Structure 1
Amino acid sequence: MNENKARDHLARLSRSLFERGYSVGSAGNISLRLDDGYLITPTNSCLGFLEPDRISKLDFEGKHVSGDKPSKEIFLHTAFYDTRANVGAVVHLHSTYATLMSCMKDIDPEDCIRPLTPYVVMRVGKVARVPYFRPGDERGGDLIRALGGKFAAVLLANHGPVVSGKDIISTVYAAEELEETAKLLVSLGNTPVNYLTDDEVADLHRVFG
């Protein structure tokens, strides 16, 4: 995909997320990898009203090349690009239910989204929660790097989800799946739940990777 098409694609998918309530106001940021750097939504921009030619471009060294000033949370994105092979896009949202779960006590920081459906296993995998840090604090990138690339998605404590994937479409789908699974888990409350077993999860990984 050439850069102009990538800009249009990023704006269209961002608008879709905004219109369906996965982000509000100027919350959230999305990036994708190009052959010669990255595109990322600009700082304080609304995902619903992006102008493709104003989307920020950075080179692989993090230098701002073109477009508006990049998101102040670019470090969340580069942490995934640097630690996970073949990552082509990163989506950070403040979606309601995943953010709610990021605020909950007593969830497993190495498996915060239990395997409720096969699709969360297939599209997202295990989700870690990293400790709270102030928005814009680059130590957040260090916390993600410290996970050693073991997780494709994390919940930022008291903040929201960050999801990585091989391309922009599959990453958006994974972010949506994470949010919908969080909604199901919150809605279930204290209802006894039949989670997928370890053997069932292993079978999904064997068949679908």
Structure 2
Amino acid sequence: MSAAIIAHGEENRRREEIVSFGRSLFERGLSAGSSGNISVRLDDGWLLTPTNACLGRLDPARVAKLDWEGRLVSGDQPSKEAFLHRAMYSERQGAGAIVHLHASHSAAVSCMHGLDDHDCLPPLTAYYVMKIGRLPLVPYHRPGDPALAEAIRGLAGKHSAVLLANHGPVVSGSTLEAAVYATEELEETAKIFLLLRAVPTRPLNEVQIAELKSAFRLDF
């Protein structure tokens, strides 16, 4: 079997994976309307959900394929937030996929005054620490502003996820499955954080975080 046929089969599997995870996120209320976008790295470029597309109703054949200069190779026009994904991929060579959502709780946190710009959510659970680590805040930019790419690029080298102010999270992972699971953990932690706003809390301390970093070889 030729390398071209194998590569084509792998691309088709990744297209179907985007459709499957997109539908799951939409049906569970994590992506409303046509908000949010998903991308996956390929050997010869990358796949990205189309502009104005509902994640719950994606067609695998219409998912955009782009080269690393951002040029459309096949499929529909890509999301206007393609530059967010390119910026993250350029700084994180191990990133195999990226998920960007406007999920309610993490978007709500992104609108709050007084956040720690270097770490928007406290380490409330071990699973949040393991999947996200630290979550820096990217200052507000209007949707589609190319300057946002540079803001993300300045943080992505050290962080697998960032929170866009008044917008929502951008989360990378080694695979699409890993990126989705990390996004879900972030959203759940944002929900817990909001539920506990009026209650004294007990986040993990530095010793507990160091133990997790050592046990699970975390690099944040």
TM-score relative to the length of structure 2: 0.93
Matches within 5 A, 1:121-200: 121-147=129-155, 149-200=157-208
- Range 186-195 or range 174-183, more displaced: 186-195
SS in 1 for 2:136: strand
Structure 1: unaligned runs, 5 residues or longer: none
Query: Which is higher, the Rg of structure 1 or of structure 2?
Result: 2
1:92 corresponds to: 100
Alpha-carbon shift at residue 130 of structure 1 (Å): 0.6
1:37 corresponds to: 45
SS in 2 for 1:154: strand
Structure 1 residues 148, 70: closer, same or farther in 2, change over 3 A?
closer
Q: Which AA in structure 2 matches 1:5? A: R
Q: What stretches of structure 1 move > 2 A for 4+ residues in a row? A: none
2:4 corresponds to: none
Alpha-carbon shift at residue 61 of structure 1 (Å): 1.9
Distance 1:21 1:201 in 2: 31
Is 1:78–2:83 an aligned residue pair?
no
2:65 corresponds to: 57
Aligned identity (percent) is 54
Distance 2:63 2:17 in 1: 11
SS in 1 for 2:155: coil
Matches within 5 A, 1:94-109: 94-109=102-117
Distance 1:106 1:7 in 2: 40
Alpha-carbon shift at residue 66 of structure 1 (Å): 0.2
2:19 corresponds to: 11
TM-score relative to the length of structure 1: 0.98
Distance 1:163 1:56 in 2: 19
RMSD: 0.9
Structure 2: unaligned runs, 5 residues or longer: 1-8
2:31 corresponds to: 23
Is 1:112–2:120 an aligned residue pair?
yes
SS in 2 for 1:164: strand
Alpha-carbon shift at residue 189 of structure 1 (Å): 1.3
Distance 1:118 1:148 in 2: 22
CA-to-partner distance for each residue in 1:110-149, whole Å, 9 max, x for gaps? Answer: 1001100000000111001111001011111110112251
Q: Which AA in structure 1 matches 2:185? A: E
1:48 corresponds to: 56
Q: Which AA in structure 1 matches 2:108? A: L
Conserved 8 A contact 2:156-2:162: no
Q: Which AA in structure 2 matches 1:3? A: E
Q: Which AA in structure 2 matches 1:39? A: L
SS in 1 for 2:73: strand
Alpha-carbon shift at residue 85 of structure 1 (Å): 2.6
Distance 1:201 1:119 in 2: 11
Distance 1:154 1:113 in 2: 11
